[in-house]
Amino acid sequence: MAMTRTTAPNPKILTFEEYLTYDDGTDGRYELVDGELIEMPPEADENSELTRFLFVELLKHVPFQRISYKETEIEVSGWRARCRLPDLIVHSEASKASLAGKSRGTITRDMLPPALVIEVVSPGVNNRMRDYRHKRTEYAARCISEYWIVDPQEQQITVCQWVEGAYEDRVLRGSDRLQSEIVPAFTLAVDQIFALRSA
């Protein structure tokens, strides 16, 4: 997800409950990192295009009701309150059901996790560390079965699969086909994904 670390004006350390009711009167979108609001600026066009391409491809294999496109956030563990807003989520039946009737699309820690989370890496050292290191740890701690790190800069996709309490990673490049336990019919090669996203 495209992001330069920009804090909200006059940052205040928020609890998770305060974050859920936060409203600055704008349409700004934020993640919560250790109690601090981090503004999510507009995506780079290339990353938005790639995310939309993956969304369309997932629709061929997963009912649209079980896919969230930048609209469902996940409470994760951290030093202080943390909440992430992934590029794409494929819900488990349980995580989708847990949002029924809720006024906000937030998967809290008392809810079962989604089946798959996908992040598209933005340029920049901080963005790369966030997706490859911080979010990887946070999503593993939430027991999310799969986490895809889609990296346009490196032209690779890292598939992290949750096995006995930790992620095991497979780095895929070129003609390697994406093999997912969550979406087994999704078998595009990595080079197809990066080549076809703008077709």
Q: Report the range of poorest mean pLDDT among 57-71, 91-105, 118-132.
A: 118-132
Domain contains 184: yes
Is residue 3's pLDDT more than 70?
Answer: no
Q: What is the pLDDT at residue 197?
A: 52
Q: What is the pLDDT at residue 90?
A: 98
pTM value? 0.84
Domain contains 187: yes
pLDDT tens-digit readout, 29-63: 788 888 888 887 777 788 999 999 999 999 999 99
Q: Name the domain count of the chain.
A: 1
Domain contains 96: yes
Domain contains 171: yes
Domain contains 100: yes
- For residue 62, what are the domain limits? 43-196
Q: What CATH number does residue 112 fall under?
A: 3.90.1570.10
Q: What is the pLDDT at residue 75?
A: 94
Domain contains 102: yes
pLDDT tens-digit readout, 75-92: 998 777 889 999 999 999
Domain contains 188: yes
pLDDT tens-digit readout, 97-121: 999 999 889 999 999 999 999 999 9
Q: In what order do the strands lie in the sheet with 156-163?
A: 67-69, 88-90, 116-120, 146-151, 156-163, 166-173
Domain contains 77: yes
